[in-house]
Amino acid sequence: MSRSKRRLIASVIIMAFLVFWIWGASTLGSHLATAPKWATLIFFIVAGIGWAVPLKPVLGWMNSGPEDPAD
């Protein structure tokens, strides 16, 4: 599979994942209204940085393989 096709597929996967990640983080975050401020802060730090960990394999796959032929 060419790198350009992998990038297209990975872009769709990343966008879909981020939509669900943001939805989940905002939903869980809204339930933390009664939690202490430090717990809310830790949650949003983890939610803000944590999206990259599950996407690391997708990003690696997207950039692997042979280069596309030059036009």
Boundaries of every domain in the chain: 3-62
Contact 67, 3 (CB under 8 A): yes
Q: Output the tens digit of pLDDT for each of the chain's 71 residues.
A: 788 889 999 999 999 999 999 999 999 988 888 889 999 999 999 999 999 999 999 999 998 877 766 54
**Is the pTM of the predicted complex or chain greater than 0.85?**
no
